[in-house]
Structure 1
Amino acid sequence: MGGALAAGVLATTALYGGSPAGADPVALPNTASEAVQRMIDLSHQSEQLNQQALDAQSDLDAKLVIQRDADAKLAATTDAVNRARDEVRKYQPVIDRTAIAAYQGARTNRLFAVLVSDSPQQLLDQMSTLDVLAAQTSAQLDQYKTATDSADAAEAVARRADDEARAAADKADSVRADLERKRSDLGGAIAQVVQAWGALSTKDKSALAGSPFPPGFDRDTLLQGLVPGSGTSALAAGLTRVGDPYVWGATGPNQFDCSGLVQWAFKQVGKDVPRTSSAQATYGTPVAKEDLQPGDVVFFYSDISHVGIYAGNGLMLHASTFGVPVAVAPMSSTPYHSARRY
């Protein structure tokens, strides 16, 4: 199993951009227990970086959605501006003719009609014609003003959309850069873990991996006692993965990191659970530690960098760390943070 684990982690290291050659050297421990503890500490640091990188990826994905929406809005508002300006151009010849006529002193009022009329009928005809022309010109001027106002409003919306699109792109670029830094840090941390694990003796590796179940734990009895439900059914699904290797960034079906195992288990029962431990800690409803039931999701460390599924009697199912397959273990082995019920 050790060779398969190392191969899986080295593949993940390549994915995240790190390499053993670029990692800081790991000082040799003085005793076997120190070596195992160093391995555990390095693995926890790597898991923290793993969850941070996953959070950054989720943040980037969300920012890219906002950017795409902003770009689509900008395109739509630009089209609206073009249509509005086309509408303005339809009335421009009329406006130009009216302006030119006024500049050249065209006689278009009722007093001029009285002065040039030879008869009452001609006066009435001229006044009627002037009324029609005035009404037409006024209507066209009103339409021109409406079209101009619409174009100005469309341009204002387009300017805001352009600002929003630029801001969204800047935020996405910032998160992308942060993600790349975290991936680089993770690559280096993973390389250190692989190096520390490789320095362990076969006996120490076996001790680190431990047993898939604590003494006295009966998986079959537990499964028979579970009442069907999203949480307990997810626990039952997760228990089928006991013995699968831990790999950073893995979500199954045959290798997992901690949050990947939780997401996979609940996916089997139709629950679309977030990817990272910190996001999973906001999903569902809070549960007090004294009210935990099998199938509840439990979180650990102050930064919520580890997660598992409660299996009853103070035990949890989790993907612990590199070199330790998916297993059922006491919750007391990890600093408790909180719990949620999905």
Structure 2
Amino acid sequence: MASHRRPKQTSRARVTVLTATAAAAVALSAQAAQAAPAKQSVKSVKAKVDALYEQTEQATEKLNGAKAKQEQLQKQVEVIQDEVARQQGELNDLQDDLGALASAQYRSGGIDPTLQLFLSADPESYLDKASTIEALSTQQAEGLRQIAEKKRSLDQQKAEAASKLSELDRTRTELSRNKKAVQGKLAETQKLLNSLTAAQRAAVAAADVRGVGGEHVNLGNDTPASGRAAAALAAAQTRINMPYVFSHTGPTSFDCSGLTMWAYAQADVKLPRMSQDQANAGTRLTMSQLKPGDLVIFYGDQHHVGLYAGNGMVLHAPHSGAFVRYESINNMPFQFGVRV
């Protein structure tokens, strides 16, 4: 006899599991489609990476400025504090001298001068003592005047020290904020690169190698404008292929202005720390006036600097993840050159 049992129904729990699994699969597919960088061209990703590197360097230059200001303020505070200590010592000496004068005057002139003359058996001796007392009084008055002047000067120095310490504290806060900004931009750049496939990362890296190291570079036959420019360029050339590290000034890693500052230091020339300040460190030049060893300033806010190497090539520290290298001067927005 045929069975008349109803077909077995799928349990509610099983339906729930299947539905949830299907929903998760759809969600994962949608998420994967959304996260997949394949739809982004290497060119567009490279443009985003370049923009982040530029923002990182802008933040780095602000960091460099805050560090330079901190160092300058620290030195100023130390000088002022030393001066305060010196003047305090001088004030203490003046006060001690005045106390000694007061004691001597009291011992010699504690009795009314008229009564002293009346009681004196030797008027001439008294008159000699009286002139000494008058001299002591004059000296005491001069001591009081010096103490008052020294106190005024000391108060001014203390006020200046307090002001510099307050400014130093604000600069340290700015330094911390700028450092976080640099680290944030670097993390953002790395996150973007990590979202790419290995093939895409390789393509972006290949697209970034616009410059070359120290071999097979035609720098032409132009000569530097000065011995210090020649020495600076020669020093920088020994740093080729060394890494860019934000806020570093050598000798084995650099940011852009750190490299130029270090290179010129080897020629006994002290450049400012920031590229914006280096832009004002000498005579400005057009592109056609550039000679090897001249500084080259890039971007409208002057946040990048390199050394002109000759034949349209610049030697510079490009950005995080890159190395000191030669690169065409036309790869970045040229502003002007600077002859130091």
User: Are 2:30 and 1:30 equivalent residues in the alignment?
Assistant: no
Q: Quick one: which amino acid aligns to residue 234 of structure 1?
A: A
SS in 2 for 1:222: coil
Structure 1 segment 83-232 matched on structure 2, within 5 A: 83-97=93-107, 100-102=110-112, 107-108=115-116, 112=118, 126-200=122-196, 201=200, 202-212=202-212, 218-219=216-217, 222=219, 226=223, 229-232=227-230
Which is further off, 257-266 or 49-58?
A: 257-266
3-state SS of paired residue (1:101): coil
1:254–1:68 CA distance, 2 compared to 1 (3 A): closer
**Aligned-partner SS, 2:281:** coil
Q: Deviation string for 1:56-83 (max 9, x for gaps)?
A: 1000000001100110011001101100
> Relative contact order: is structure 1 or structure 2 higher (C-alpha 8 Å, sep ≥ 6)?
1
- Aligned to 1:60, which of 56, 63, 70? 70
User: Could you tell me which amino acid in structure 1 is paired with residue 151 of structure 2?
Assistant: E
Cα distance in structure 2, aligned partners of 1:133 and 1:211:
92
Q: Give the equivalent residue in structure 1 for 2:84.
A: 74
Q: 1:48 aligns with which of 33, 58, 61?
A: 58
User: Does the 8 A contact of 2:315 with 2:325 survive in 1?
Assistant: yes
SS in 1 for 2:309: strand
The CA deviation at 1:225 is: 5.6
For 2:165, the aligned partner's letter is A
What CA distance in whole angstroms lies between the structure 2 residues aligned with 1:288 and 1:261? 22
Tell me the secondary structure at the aligned position of residue 129 of structure 1: helix
Q: Which runs of 5+ in 1 are unaligned?
A: 1-25, 114-121
Q: Distance in 2 between matches of 1:181 and 1:197?
A: 25
Amino acid at match of 2:49: M
- More displaced 10-residue stretch of structure 1: 45-54 or 225-234: 225-234
Are residues 225 and 281 of structure 1, via their aligned partners in 2, closer, same or farther at CA, if it must alter by over 3 Å?
closer
Structure 1 partner of 2:279: 281
* Alpha-carbon distance in 2 for matches of 1:326, 1:197: 21
Cα displacement (A) at 1:99:
6.9
Rounded Cα–Cα distance in structure 1 between residues aligned with 2:212 and 2:261 = 20
CA displacement, residues 102-146 of structure 1 (integer Å, 9 cap, x when unaligned): 3xx85245xx58xxxxxxxx9xx7442332122111111112112
State the SS of the aligned residue for 1:320: coil
Which 10-residue stretch deviates more, 243-252 or 33-42?
A: 243-252
Q: Give the 3-state SS of the residue equivalent to 1:338 in structure 2.
A: strand
Partner of 2:27: none
Against the structure 1 CA distance between its residues 96 and 312, is the aligned structure 2 distance closer, same or farther, given a 3 Å change threshold? Answer: same
Matched-pair contact (CA < 8 Å) for 1:212–1:326:
no
Alpha-carbon distance between aligned partners in 2 of 1:31 and 1:131, rounded to the nearest angstrom: 107
Q: Is the 8 A contact 2:231 2:267 kept in 1?
A: yes
Amino acid across the alignment from 2:283:
T
Alpha-carbon distance in 1 for matches of 2:163, 2:109: 43
- With structure 2 as the length reference, what TM-score do the two structures score? 0.79
State which drifts further: 252-261 or 175-184.
252-261
**Structure 2 vs 1, CA of residues 267 and 134 (structure 1 numbering), >3 Å: closer, same or farther?**
closer
Q: In 2, are the aligned partners of 1:77 and 1:161 still within 8 Å (CA)?
A: no
Q: How many aligned residue pairs are there?
A: 300
Give me the TM-score of the superposition, normalised by structure 1. Answer: 0.78
The one-letter amino acid paired with 1:237 is A
Q: Distance in 1 between matches of 2:265 and 2:80?
A: 31
SS at match of 2:111: helix
Partner Cα distance (1:243, 1:140) in 2: 77
3-state secondary structure, aligned to 1:298: strand
Percentage of identical aligned residues = 26
In the alignment, is the contact (CA less than 8 A) between 1:293 and 1:310 conserved in 2?
yes
- Matched position secondary structure for 1:316: strand
Q: 1:271 to 1:93 in 2, by over 3 A?
A: closer
Please identify, of 48-57 and 156-165, the stretch whose mean Cα deviation from structure 2 is larger: 156-165
Q: Which AA in structure 1 matches 2:99?
A: R
Gaps of 5+ in 2: 1-34
Specify the alignment match of 1:249 in structure 2.
247
CA RMSD of aligned residues (A): 2.8
Q: How far did 1:194 drift?
A: 2.0
Residue 283 of structure 1 and its aligned partner are, at CA, apart by 2.1
Partner of 1:119: none
Whether the aligned pair in 2 keeps the contact of 1:208 and 1:323 (CA below 8 Å) is no
Distance in 2 separating the partners of 1:95 and 1:211: 85
